[in-house]
């Protein structure tokens, strides 16, 4: 089974000090493969291309803390949710202007262009600065 994942989104998929791909979603994918009696092949990519990779048959599944939306449910099958996550704001320590999502109006927000969090920032009036993923978003602070 070919599994698309970022490999840069701890604790879900990331590389340990030895370079091995590890994380919660990696363990989930391995358990699924074991249950199916197949080998898992992880194919890493940027978040913005993972879902499109399903359409292009690059992956059999994407396992990468994917948020379930109505638009995605209309096109793809999902497992039962196995984690609940919520959006939080991360700002520099010297930034006292942004305390709520509404405070993003007119500001720049770094996030993957196709992520639910990017859509949330835009909904609150932020200008979205596209990144390759969470690590790059944090580095831009």
pLDDT 10s digits, 28-85: 999 999 999 999 999 999 888 899 999 999 999 999 888 888 989 999 999 998 888 7
Alpha-carbon distance of 80 to 66, in angstroms, equals 12
Of all helices (H) and strands (E), which one includes residue 25? helix 24-36
Quick one: 86-141 is in which CATH superfamily? Periplasmic binding protein-like II (3.40.190.10)
What pLDDT does residue 132 have? 77
Alpha-carbon distance of 22 to 13, in angstroms, equals 6
Q: Does 137 score more than 90 pLDDT?
A: no
Domain 2-75 -> CATH class = alpha beta
Q: Collapsing DSSP states into helix, strand and coil, what is residue 111? A: strand
Answer whether 2-75 and 86-141 agree in fold: yes
* Torsion angle, alpha carbons of 126, 131, 134, 136, to 10: -120
What is residue 93's DSSP assignment? Answer: T
What residue ranges do the domains of the chain occupy?
Answer: 2-75, 86-141
């Amino acid at each position: 089974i070919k599994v698309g994942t970022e490999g840069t989104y701890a604790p879900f998929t990331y590389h340990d000090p030895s370079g091995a791909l590890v994380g919660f979603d990696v363990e989930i994918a391995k358990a699924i493969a074991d249950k199916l009696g197949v080998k898992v092949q992880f194919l890493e990519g940027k978040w913005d291309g993972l879902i499109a990779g399903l359409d292009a048959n690059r992956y059999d599944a994407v396992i990468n803390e994917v948020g379930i939306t109505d638009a995605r449910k209309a096109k793809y099958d999902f497992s039962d949710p196995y984690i609940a996550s919520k959006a939080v704001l991360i700002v520099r320590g010297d930034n006292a202007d942004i305390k709520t999502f509404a405070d993003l109006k007119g500001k720049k927000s770094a996030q993957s262009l196709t992520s639910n969090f990017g859509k949330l920032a835009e909904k609150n009036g932020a200008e979205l600065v596209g990144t390759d993923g969470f690590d790059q978003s944090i580095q831009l602070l």
